[in-house]
Structure 1
């Protein structure tokens, strides 16, 4: 493992006692000796990281110390459900609530405005209120599984750095998750690894001088570690840092009610959205993305920010916003414009977008075709224009600066991923057209308006299909063949393949194709630990089951994946 660039972020060396130094005096109360810690001990001893004699039904160590032995169940916990709210807010203890006051509610940090006395809230803004039952300074016990990462084994507890120099102000937990972010998380949470990875080069220096941004970084880092290790301690730490970030943003909004929110707070809001994507949320990521959008609009776009911070945040926003338009109908508007001024001039090759920016925005255009369902002529023109864009697209047309430290292999992987995105865009185009035509209740009226009285839905779909240079079956086969030829290992460029695999899976018609999709998504989940990959798998499993069951009349049931999403009530994001 490479040494950290910050001299303060080093592992604590084993203490060395000189021969000339006297041996430390023994404490009057000797340390209890017991068998070594093991995973087969009782839950109480595991959490305390103490040896357990494994006596049944309760271990003797717990009985001797007057502790309640929790038995021998599993110390691991299941991840939160995809639509679960992170926090549940209850009224303060020992407070009687009126009949009109709800005793329990779910927490949405941006929807309910909270105003501090004498501090006006900016127009159109809502201030997040953190949960009352989170203790920001609470001590968290961290489970220490050993992870397999690359060519080395990785002990989650062996990495806590010694506070030194400019990081001596950090808590032990902050140091712990900061170093995990430096060594592993920052590499696996980007779609491009380089020497100047902004998840390190931009976020870490700023976080060291910004407690708010530090909490946001640690929240994402702890959650990512929890995804990879399923450790209860890391999950608890992630929720605690998440709550601290929300409190910090609330304070910043109140204190700067008439001023621009500082760049570090803007970055923290962006990381809250990333947190929910890593968690695999299907609701709360949109809350934070909306907040980020309103913040950016209120200050006039990215041009008002420091260039480095703006460049990082722009890539995150464009990627998430574009992906959201594909799977969330609430995010689609008829306007073919960005909700935020994202022009920052020629920038470096982005760690999220890579070569795919034009393709991502084209997928947004495809999603907006539904607004042309009542005008077949305009629909034909739009389909022809989109097909021309996809046919003529080339990664070489991307206007960006290649950051230092990238190898030819990095760029080749980015190019392959971008080609998969073009295949996915063709699949998406066919899929959306099928939904528009086959679900048009008043199709005959529309056909009459367009002077096509004798045109059936299937005939019109075939006509539109002839405007697309790549048939759907060809695009699916080509996309899956590309993916199948790749080694989906720890090269983080491949972590962007979730969307191409998902959309190809939605249109896969054979067991072989479905198997390629399933195995590839499993590899992405195992290697990169992003929660929304699980959500994509969950949706595909539900979709395939519905199609295999068929319709009640015994015919095939080609239910559309967007219909399944709507039935589940999910706002899936595949960034």
Structure 2
């Protein structure tokens, strides 16, 4: 575990006031939990470490309001435990930590107001944006919150606009692709259930706006082809997600087609765009060497591409990359994502229909399961 102690010191070592038992124990819990997934002899140690980390996190949360100068360490501890839950397969536990992190972040706005400190209209986010650690926290939280909104089929806990101005860095999770999270958040926030004709037209207008923004997006200049490829894969994934949402919306409002001025709204044209986006994702991923460190964030684009893969060769690419990632990392969410895709692919091969005589889709498969899936 020395490497995790170094990670702890690297994160909090900039200031003695950042010393945090909660963060330290969370890192140890993450390390021992991952070791237990590789070697069962560490199971008891991992359970004790997890219990200890939850105890320290609880204590830190109880005194959080008094730690107004350096709240980052407590939120970081919660996010690290979230990641641990995901990797170990506790698909319900991670969401509790995500909600907890949200409340911790937003609670700093109340502290600012109590101390008559200016928030500039941004409150909690202004506080976190003022330090490198705080900015990392916000990108970390957004990564999990925004990506989870896709598989949960709901808006993010916090819309991603707070990321503006803090994505022009090489981030530890998404490299140079963090800015795409803002757009994915916007897509997840689209109103999929219109109440009238005006809502239909507004949805169409907003989708065209988002699509144009994505198509005009350019990857920040970086001296790394894998990082550029990952960013482009996320750009293509956001487009795929947008087209899927438009297709679902079109299914829901067939009677309103006469109001829509653009032929791209028709399902057949959307299917073509979906298939093109899938191929674009796989083309970009092919530029990321197997076993490259940047492939750690490829689960999301691979899953989305696999969900709409239309050929045996595309499915083979997705399966092989996911199998390799699983063999290397042993994260349970990768295993579960691959299981869902294998079920979907088999249903498509067998010509199985889902409720309403619809073609099988991963969204329906997830709805039939009690536990949510996080693709981070």
For normalisation by structure 1, the TM-score amounts to: 0.55
Q: Give the drift of 1:508.
A: 0.7
Q: Give the drift of 1:209.
A: 4.5
Work out which of the residue numbers 514, 521, 532 in structure 1 matches 2:315: 514
2:155–2:185 contact (8 Å) kept in structure 1: no
Who is 2:116 aligned against?
none
Gaps of 5+ in 2: 110-123
Work out which of the residue numbers 226, 231, 243 in structure 2 matches 1:413: 226
Q: Give the drift of 1:530.
A: 3.1
The DSSP-based 3-state class of the residue aligned with 2:189 is helix
Output one character per residue of 1:104-130: Cα deviation in whole Å (capped at 9) or x when no partner: xxxxxxxxxxxxxxxxxxxxxxxxxxx
Q: Decide whether aligned partners of structure 1 residues 523 and 386 sit closer, same or farther in structure 2, where only a CA change above 3 A counts.
A: same
Output one character per residue of 1:467-495: Cα deviation in whole Å (capped at 9) or x when no partner: xxx82222212222332354211x21111
Q: Decide whether aligned partners of structure 1 residues 280 and 331 sit closer, same or farther in structure 2, where only a CA change above 3 A counts.
A: farther
| Mapped partners of 2:371, 2:352: distance in 1 | 23
Cα RMSD over matched residues? 3.4
| Mapped partners of 1:299, 1:437: distance in 2 | 41
Verify: 1:381 aligned to 2:232, yes or no: no
1:302–1:343 contact (8 Å) kept in structure 2: no
2:61–2:74 contact (8 Å) kept in structure 1: no
Work out which of the residue numbers 334, 358, 361 in structure 2 matches 1:533: 334
| Mapped partners of 2:326, 2:352: distance in 1 | 33
Q: Decide whether aligned partners of structure 1 residues 332 and 312 sit closer, same or farther in structure 2, where only a CA change above 3 A counts.
A: closer
More helix by share: 2
Who is 1:564 aligned against?
365
Q: How does 1:260-275 map to 2 (within 5 A)?
A: 260=68, 262-275=71-84
Q: Decide whether aligned partners of structure 1 residues 417 and 200 sit closer, same or farther in structure 2, where only a CA change above 3 A counts.
A: farther
The DSSP-based 3-state class of the residue aligned with 1:379 is helix
Verify: 1:285 aligned to 2:65, yes or no: no
Q: Give the drift of 1:368.
A: 2.8
Q: Give the drift of 1:218.
A: 0.7
Who is 1:429 aligned against?
242
Q: How does 1:426-465 map to 2 (within 5 A)?
A: 426-438=239-251, 440=252, 443-444=254-255, 446-447=256-257, 450=259, 460-462=266-268, 465=270
Output one character per residue of 1:65-98: Cα deviation in whole Å (capped at 9) or x when no partner: xxxxxxxxxxxxxxxxxxxxxxxxxxxxxxxxxx
The DSSP-based 3-state class of the residue aligned with 1:355 is coil
1:546–1:557 contact (8 Å) kept in structure 2: no
Q: Give the drift of 1:245.
A: 1.4
Count of aligned residue pairs for this structure pair: 355
Who is 1:211 aligned against?
21
Q: Give the drift of 1:413.
A: 1.4
Q: How does 1:41-56 map to 2 (within 5 A)?
A: none
Q: Give the drift of 1:266.
A: 2.4
Q: How does 1:389-404 map to 2 (within 5 A)?
A: 389-396=213-220
Work out which of the residue numbers 302, 305, 314 in structure 2 matches 1:504: 305
Q: How does 1:346-357 map to 2 (within 5 A)?
A: 348-357=169-178
Work out which of the residue numbers 181, 186, 189 in structure 2 matches 1:365: 186
Verify: 1:245 aligned to 2:66, yes or no: no
Larger Rg: 1
Verify: 1:225 aligned to 2:35, yes or no: yes
Verify: 1:479 aligned to 2:287, yes or no: no
Verify: 1:181 aligned to 2:4, yes or no: yes
Gaps of 5+ in 1: 1-176, 187-198, 403-407
1:303–1:344 contact (8 Å) kept in structure 2: no
| Mapped partners of 1:422, 1:561: distance in 2 | 20
For normalisation by structure 2, the TM-score amounts to: 0.82
Output one character per residue of 1:437-470: Cα deviation in whole Å (capped at 9) or x when no partner: 22x2x643x457x489xx9x9973346x49xxx8
Q: Give the drift of 1:556.
A: 8.4
Q: Give the drift of 1:540.
A: 0.8
Q: Give the drift of 1:538.
A: 1.7
Verify: 1:317 aligned to 2:138, yes or no: no
Q: Decide whether aligned partners of structure 1 residues 263 and 361 sit closer, same or farther in structure 2, where only a CA change above 3 A counts.
A: closer
